[in-house]
Structure 1
Amino acid sequence: MSRIRHLYLVGHTHHDVGYTLSPRLVDGLHTEIVTRVLDLCDEHDGDGPDAFRWTFEVSRPVLKFVAEATPQDVARLVARVNEGRISLTGGYLNMTQLPSEAELDVAYDALSTLRDAGLTLRTEQHGDVNGIAWGTVEQMRRAGLDRLVMALNPDHGRPPLTQPSGFWWEGVSGQQVFVWLSTHYGIGEEWGIIDGDVDLAVQRIGELVADLEAREDYPYDAALVHAANDNRWPTALFLDVVRRWNQLHPDRPMRTATTDQALDALLESASGDAVPALRGEWSDWWSHGHGSTAREVAVYREARSFTRAAGSHLALTMLRGDGPVSYADVIGYRRAPVRSRPPSRVVRDLDAVDEQLLLFGEHTWGSWETYSKPFSTLSHSHWNAKAGFAYGAWDVARDLAVEGMHRLVASGTSEQLPEVDATQPPTVVVTNPTETERTEPVEVEVDGARRVRLVATVPAFGLTRLPLPEEGEVRTESERVDLTFGHYRLTVSRAGGGLVSLVDERHGRELVDTGTPHALGAVVVESVRPGSTHPMLTRSPKDFHPDNPGPDFDRTPATMSSPISVTTRSDAVTVEWESTPPGLPPARTTLTIYRDTPAIDLAVHLVKPEAFGPESIFVAFPFAFAEPQFLLETAGAVYRPEEDQLPDTSKDWYSIQQAIGVGDVTSGVLWSSYDAPLVQLGDFHTGTWARTLEPRTGHINSWLMNNLHFTNFQARQEGTRTYRYRFLPIEQPPAAAQVATFGRDAGVPLQARATRIPVPWQGTSGLSVTSDGDVLTELRPVSEDQVRVRLRETAGNSARALVETRLPGHRSTREVTVPAWGRADVVLDVRERREDAEGPAEIDTMPSSGAGDERSVTR
């Protein structure tokens, strides 16, 4: 047991982008808080225990302040940080597990702006969210941060250790950060601290001290107490708590402190042996909220795919030089771009997409009354603003991607291209935004009337053009389809509800678990068993909680409700059917297998009318592995659930990035979800609140949507959308690097467009990235004159990479070492390429006539 000798009262405001107020308003108010804090520091100055000290919980408002404030006000902030009156922290916002490693890069890389202004950062602080991606450890250490405060919310989840506690969190690379697993920040209001209710505050803090001193597992002589709550405007009322406490308890004094000062004291008071080390993913119990708004989460994920492709294509165009793009005179998504942005605008627009993605990936889904008052104007306004982050990102990212593809097609030449022949059928142009040659299915829309799938082989950072495939022969079967095509023999059965058998003919293995009551690709509806008296139904939705396991659920697969349609082409076979989930309109499932690749595509078009009350919808993938091993992709890492997980983190459900590997000792499947991040593994687990994961089967259940929430998540489930999946059987157990690559490829797919524009080149672009290890690459323009090549190592082994350009006026070779599980950047200067090239200096942005016109350029 410890003797508590010091108490540190840490003033901050919990940063919600919304909740108490619309995101449109509260985001700007947080920036105004910076000035208010500086004024309070002046009003309550000095070095005494009751001086005003403050911690900014996240970096976003400080970044905005530094960008917008006068030099004098920035100097005030720097001075207060240097004297220890204010701490800055390094987390951009309180993030969910939605953002990818690339998005988190943006957030952590932005901290250099604060350091350039003379500000110091050592710590990240995270509140409310009950988990954080394992790759955060490496991200933090790369950003110069080595301490993390996690103030977990006690609702709908468990902490990995008793709150409060400290431990060393070891990342996938072996690097560590110190974690202070704090009490929930909300005690600041609950205990009267921030409102100056000194009698209540002193009583409750005294109870905390007694609890800590009674614990055998608390090796610290200090306590950190939060003076905070949601979006609270800073006041100095909590200083009265310090004064009263010190009058009553001079033997164990309290002082205001920044987070950094409190952590320094805590670390100093405990020997290294007393602080445990834990390794693994911090899987978030609250991630079930990602299924509360399935449509918008899918839009967000598509937007980030667009922006990654756009960054690659526009970077390649900068390297190759702009050519005569075919412009349209109609602004619309089926037309070519109406103009080409200059590089500075490209960088600015990519940055704007990043900001919108991060704002959507932040943890505040709705207002405080979204669940209790779902029809209030505040609830609707708040969600309109939150969803607007996803749609705003999608709008700009898609526009950049269309422009980038057209500019890449035209790049590297100054010759006038032939006129577009509108009488000829379109061809399919496919580009590869990544560093390896890829053979994959792509889908294109043809003349706004139909969609076509085909397989393309595209060189690394290259381009190819393919003819449209024939339309194929269509037949229908009323009860059953048995067919053999490409690598597979399959059976789709009306009685079985869908795909009931899928045999990989390369080794004769049955991939579908035939002992399960639902088919592969089946829509499964989960509902609370009638007559349930579970307290989440009779008392409060907060009682969907580990302390109240359950309720019991019924899970009913959709029944097939249409004939089975089979479309056969020489290169692909598509099987389609409708099935009717209980209580829903028919869903349409499309399965496609190919001649030239073992990849399999499955899509489910779901129509979901608005409904209230607890429910879930899954798409089931019952893979037949009796003793399965899973690998899951999180931001910055691939991990084994259960083995690579912090204790008591979520094992009922997981929020993945894009990919999963599942298999046994002989073979496996790589699986990806384009649109929906939530999965349950081995079985259905909703309401189990399991402390261990012991999967008996290789089932992956894609948890599309659920309504198991309270407070700020949506109270209803609704939305119409197609949810897309791809899986690839492999002849060996999946490896971490394979899962990382499969996930990257799902997140940055080949880009395809059916078009009649001339294509002046095919093949490689002139940029190549090769390595002696497992390295993935991202391209992006970062200034008017520079393209960044970002390299990531995914297997845990240091790798040597070569970045080579072989272009007219731009030839170079750069060698770089990429550390294990780390990253390295190569920046290519394109000024010489721009000055020496014979191509245009500016682009004419005012086309004179019809869509598809070939526009010359002006100098």
Structure 2
Amino acid sequence: MPSLPADDRTDDLAADGAPSPGGPLLDRAIRQVLLVGHTHHDVGYTNSPRLVDDLHAETVRRVLDLCDTNDGDGPDAFRWTFEVVRPVLRFLETAGPADVDRLRRRVAEGRVTVTGGYLNMTQLPGDAELDAAYDALDRLRAAGVPVRTEQHGDVNGIAWGAVDAMRRAGIDRLVMALNPDHGRPPYPQPTGFWWEGPAGGRVFTWLSTHYGVGEEWGIVDGDVEAAEAHVADFVAALGERDDYPYDTAVVHAANDNRWPTALFLEVVRHWNARHPDVPMRTATVDEALDVLRPQAEAADVPVARGEWSDWWAHGHGSTAREVAVYREARSFARAAQTTLGLTRLRGDGSPALADVIGYRRGPVRLRSDAEVARDLDRVDAELLLFAEHTWGSWETYSKPYSSFSHSHWNAKAGFAYGAFDLARDLAVEGLFRVVVSDDPAGARPAGSAERATRVVVVNPTGRARTEPVEVEVHGRARARTVATVPAFGVATVPLPPPPGGSRAAREVACGAYRAVVDPARGGVVSLVHRPTGRELVDDVAGHGLGAVVTETVVPGSEHPMVVRDPKDFHPDFPGPDFDRRHATGDEEPLVTEAGTWARIAWRTTPPGLPTTTTTLTLYRDLDVVDLEVALVKPEVFGPESIHVAFPFRVADPELLLETAGAVYAAETEQLPDTSKDWYSIQHAVGVHRPGEDGGVLWGAVDAPLVQLGGLHTGEWARKLRAPTGYVSSWLMNNLHFTNFQARQEGTRAYRYRFAAVDGPVTRERVRVFGRDLAEPLQARAYDGPVTVDGATGLRVTPADRVLAEVRPLADGSVRVRLRNVAADPVEAEVAWDGPGRVVGAGPVLLGPHGVGDVRLRREG
């Protein structure tokens, strides 16, 4: 492994040629230089996340002290921008009145700006996590600190739905300081444009230089000569650009986790002594955008609409198992919010408490309202800390075996596992409470005294659903059945008998589908949707559906990333060439049949890996297909990838992808030069040919990365080539040089669900399909009391137009958040038909892709 640089700094962004020695800059269009002091916020990277997160909170007092010792309003006064809001929120939790007043006063003076992004996020968070991050700004504003701008550093993309979420949070300006490694910006850096969200609102977006110039150019260390030379070249280059309609140059005084100092003020003083014709002054990011935005409006800069698909998202595949745990955790969190919220509205009953603090047991005690709110907030924070962009330490690649590298990843992964543990515990408690809610006397309906083990199922969403559920029985076996549950309801179904024995066969037919498996081709070679006669598998791919495909660099490759530096996996160096081979097997598949389902399982061996078991499950009365890949992945260092192939037979498709808060068409609804080699989705993809009925809804439960139309790793394509409906679940890859994990491993079962669609594949259907995967029916094999049968009382209409999320709040109320999934306005209504008196229900008008809240409260 080559020796790597000890950070994620960009290459020098100055103009070509030797640095200029100073002196007048002649008659350039640039009239001033604004120097924005901040630190780039990594939760980790330079030190353990366990330490970094606490130290960032301490930077707030440090900044306030520096404002005091470098006071005034001159060009060299100390001004500072908090790049993200989390450290300031943590500061407010413990700060005394005097320190809070200092912060408020410095913000009012324009000496300090607090921006609105919770952390520098990846594209992993969904709309609920984005909302949790922006909802946290209420605490900041309650302290008298306004927020107008979001700043995002390093990450090369952000979900399209974030635009609407920002606007709802009162933010209409965004700074993106992209890292040029492993990606391309949508426009030349720096520049400005309007980014339009799905609902039509816009944010002014400043596509800045990478923040790392602050260190590379000597600015943060007060190297005045080097800083002068680099800034002079930068200013000169801007003055020569015909596409830069601004008279101001914005320069970052920052780098990764820099402890705030005032050294960069010397750069201002030195520059102004040498270049009075183009003065420099310190500025906050708010002040910088106050200057730039009016000039952008006057210049009529471009309006861009679509997803900012992240070139860095391939890093999600470096830790497949932990990303899957994170996604499980947020599903548990959403279920917990709903069941605990419904219980609060209905009133507590008498749940069966356990006498052991056990993973497979029920709760031993019930949380108070305050404890529920506190623990849900803790889950939100853990989820956001994991989805933040810092995946590894700065020596992950140069010293992959060091204790620091392992400790760093242990801390980072701990955010996912911490969220999982707490969210699952909340969800278990919520299920136990809601199924006996409004039963304070412990009354039991007729027949319940038998207490036989059965399957109790809770629907955490506002639409009636019929879906497969799988439960663990007495800690020894798993049982699968199909349940129909009303919206926000509870259903109890019999525990299914164990399935019969298995038989060797290559074909299975059940319900709407007939499948044929060929292990030599790795998977399903024919999958016919029997109601329509459609063949779903495209045999041109050369391997079957569900096949595991490995991707390794061809032997003897002289690609720069192989022979020189893994950092050269980059648009400037297309490639390398990959050897792609699918898993094969020679054992006969096994078919197992049960009352509600039938499955076929086969074993194959991917090149270089242990044997993999793949299972396809069909249902007698349900038009969906489940596929699970149980993969054993030993730890490997070096570039490789693992895919699970879904070659759907759809020619010239439009591919609709679910991102946070939106669904977009790959290629046609993306910002220029954003990632088309790979995409990070929430859960769902729609595959269809425009203008024709019939397509496929596909979803990944555990793994967010996909490639479309074929495998494109290393093409750095400016245009998506997708001649067929081939969807690849890009499970794992190891194509990094820093920040992400140097090893690739991730032994577990990875789950998928898909369905043939008879009518049109719409954005609304994709959104709902993804939501149902993110919020599955909650099921448990249970022999305790159940007093709720059917609906719980909460009703949201029209159920086919809006998504609803329930959450109990600290003030004792229950929030129902409604999301309009369509481009047309809708009048929704929240109603209560359940026991007790609940106030606050009523109608709410939702604009296109709009979001609205209703607060409910139980009285008496």
Q: Same fold (TM over 0.5)?
A: yes
2-structure distance, mates of 1:810, 1:492: 56
| Structure 1 gap segments, 5+ residues each | 836-859
| Corresponding position of 2:274 | 248
Q: How does 1:209-224 map to 2 (within 5 A)?
A: 209-224=235-250
What is the DSSP-based 3-state SS (H/G/I as helix, E as strand, rest coil) of the residue aligned with 2:845? strand
- Residue 483 of structure 1, CA deviation: 2.9
| Corresponding position of 2:779 | 752
2-structure distance, mates of 1:425, 1:761: 16
TM, length-normalised to structure 1: 0.95
Aligned residues: 830
What is the DSSP-based 3-state SS (H/G/I as helix, E as strand, rest coil) of the residue aligned with 1:315? helix
Q: Is the contact between residue 430 and residue 465 of structure 1 (CA under 8 Å) also seen in structure 2?
A: yes
Amino acid at match of 2:852: A
Q: How does 1:517-666 map to 2 (within 5 A)?
A: 517-664=542-689, 665-666=692-693
What is the DSSP-based 3-state SS (H/G/I as helix, E as strand, rest coil) of the residue aligned with 2:631? strand
Q: Is the contact between residue 365 and residue 386 of structure 1 (CA under 8 Å) also seen in structure 2?
A: yes
- Residue 785 of structure 1, CA deviation: 1.9
- Residue 694 of structure 1, CA deviation: 2.6
2-structure distance, mates of 1:388, 1:527: 30
- Residue 514 of structure 1, CA deviation: 1.4
Cα–Cα, structure 1 residues 679 and 726, in superposed 2: closer, same or farther, change >3 Å?
same
Does residue 669 (structure 1) correspond to residue 699 (structure 2)? The answer is: no
- Residue 495 of structure 1, CA deviation: 3.0
Q: Which moved more, 1:430-439 or 1:813-822?
A: 813-822
| Corresponding position of 2:809 | 782
Which of 740, 747, 755 matches 1:720? 747
- Residue 761 of structure 1, CA deviation: 2.5
Which of 492, 508, 511 matches 1:465? 492
Amino acid at match of 1:313: T
Amino acid at match of 1:538: V
- Residue 272 of structure 1, CA deviation: 3.2
Q: Is the contact between residue 2 and residue 219 of structure 1 (CA under 8 Å) also seen in structure 2?
A: no
| Corresponding position of 2:295 | 269
1-structure distance, mates of 2:298, 2:655: 34
- Residue 426 of structure 1, CA deviation: 1.7
2-structure distance, mates of 1:320, 1:757: 19
- Residue 473 of structure 1, CA deviation: 2.6
1-structure distance, mates of 2:349, 2:587: 50
Q: Is the contact between residue 561 and residue 580 of structure 1 (CA under 8 Å) also seen in structure 2?
A: no
| Corresponding position of 2:68 | 42
Q: Deviations over 1:604-630 (max 9, x none)?
A: 010000111100001111100012111
1-structure distance, mates of 2:294, 2:458: 55
Does residue 817 (structure 1) correspond to residue 842 (structure 2)? The answer is: no
Q: Is the contact between residue 462 and residue 799 of structure 2 (CA under 8 Å) also seen in structure 1?
A: no
| Corresponding position of 1:19 | 45
- Residue 322 of structure 1, CA deviation: 1.0
Q: Is the contact between residue 772 and residue 799 of structure 1 (CA under 8 Å) also seen in structure 2?
A: no
Q: Which moved more, 1:2-11 or 1:153-162?
A: 2-11
Amino acid at match of 1:47: D
Q: Identity of counterpart residues, as a percentage?
A: 63
What is the DSSP-based 3-state SS (H/G/I as helix, E as strand, rest coil) of the residue aligned with 2:607? coil
Cα–Cα, structure 1 residues 2 and 563, in superposed 2: closer, same or farther, change >3 Å?
farther
2-structure distance, mates of 1:519, 1:163: 43
What is the DSSP-based 3-state SS (H/G/I as helix, E as strand, rest coil) of the residue aligned with 2:632? strand
2-structure distance, mates of 1:503, 1:272: 58
Which of 196, 205, 208 matches 1:179? 205
Which of 186, 190, 194 matches 1:164? 190
Which of 416, 431, 455 matches 1:390? 416
Q: How does 1:240-639 map to 2 (within 5 A)?
A: 240-416=266-442, 426-477=453-504, 480-639=505-664
1-structure distance, mates of 2:291, 2:704: 39
Backbone CA RMSD of aligned residues: 1.5
What is the DSSP-based 3-state SS (H/G/I as helix, E as strand, rest coil) of the residue aligned with 1:77? helix
2-structure distance, mates of 1:44, 1:722: 57
1-structure distance, mates of 2:508, 2:503: 13
Cα–Cα, structure 1 residues 486 and 773, in superposed 2: closer, same or farther, change >3 Å?
closer
Q: Is the contact between residue 488 and residue 504 of structure 1 (CA under 8 Å) also seen in structure 2?
A: yes
- Residue 271 of structure 1, CA deviation: 4.6
1-structure distance, mates of 2:732, 2:280: 47
Q: Deviations over 1:832-857 (max 9, x none)?
A: 1xx3xxxxxxxxxxxxxxxxxxxxxx
| Structure 2 gap segments, 5+ residues each | 1-26
2-structure distance, mates of 1:407, 1:486: 36
What is the DSSP-based 3-state SS (H/G/I as helix, E as strand, rest coil) of the residue aligned with 1:676? coil
Q: Deviations over 1:245-296 (max 9, x none)?
A: 1111111111011111111112233453441111110000000000000000
Q: Which moved more, 1:441-450 or 1:128-137?
A: 441-450
| Corresponding position of 1:845 | none
| Corresponding position of 1:846 | none
| Corresponding position of 2:16 | none
Which of 32, 44, 59 matches 2:58? 32
TM, length-normalised to structure 2: 0.95
Cα–Cα, structure 1 residues 782 and 271, in superposed 2: closer, same or farther, change >3 Å?
closer
Q: Is the contact between residue 430 and residue 463 of structure 1 (CA under 8 Å) also seen in structure 2?
A: yes
Cα–Cα, structure 1 residues 423 and 325, in superposed 2: closer, same or farther, change >3 Å?
closer
Q: Deviations over 1:782-829 (max 9, x none)?
A: 125211101001111111111111223225541111221121110111
Cα–Cα, structure 1 residues 764 and 418, in superposed 2: closer, same or farther, change >3 Å?
closer
Which of 736, 753, 765 matches 1:709? 736
| Corresponding position of 1:850 | none
| Corresponding position of 1:692 | 719
1-structure distance, mates of 2:519, 2:295: 67
Q: Is the contact between residue 522 and residue 548 of structure 2 (CA under 8 Å) also seen in structure 1?
A: no
Amino acid at match of 1:742: F
Cα–Cα, structure 1 residues 697 and 66, in superposed 2: closer, same or farther, change >3 Å?
same
1-structure distance, mates of 2:615, 2:451: 30
Cα–Cα, structure 1 residues 146 and 476, in superposed 2: closer, same or farther, change >3 Å?
same
1-structure distance, mates of 2:271, 2:502: 81
2-structure distance, mates of 1:525, 1:768: 47
Does residue 66 (structure 1) correspond to residue 92 (structure 2)? The answer is: yes
2-structure distance, mates of 1:717, 1:703: 13
| Corresponding position of 2:5 | none
2-structure distance, mates of 1:182, 1:268: 17
Q: Is the contact between residue 508 and residue 600 of structure 2 (CA under 8 Å) also seen in structure 1?
A: no
Cα–Cα, structure 1 residues 687 and 422, in superposed 2: closer, same or farther, change >3 Å?
farther
